[in-house]
Copies of this chain bind each other. A is one copy, B any other.
């Protein structure tokens, strides 16, 4: 799993139905770093440092075996110092 930071919500009106109403969030490996999009399974807010799971595990983690996610937020880290 990767440690990433939530930047903001991503708005995509035209998307496949399989996503349902699950929120899609923009995440970064570090502040100012490359961006990815993750499905939120825990309820987090911008600024949170989170644990993201990828690969086929991202589907199950998003709630169902056929959920089309390859990156799902599965936990919020209590305390994280990216510099340490």
Contact = CB atoms under 8 A, between A and B. Distances in A.
Interface of A: 1-3, 10-16, 18-19, 24, 26, 35-38, 41-43, 51, 53-61, 65-72, 74-79
A16 B66 contact: no
- State the copy count for this chain: 5
Contact of A53 (B66, B68, B78): B68
25 contacts: A1-B24, A1-B69, A3-B26, A3-B35, A3-B37, A10-B77, A12-B75, A12-B76, A13-B76, A14-B76, A15-B75, A16-B42, A19-B75, A24-B51, A24-B75, A37-B51, A53-B69, A55-B55, A55-B70, A57-B59, A57-B67, A57-B69, A59-B60, A60-B66, A68-B72
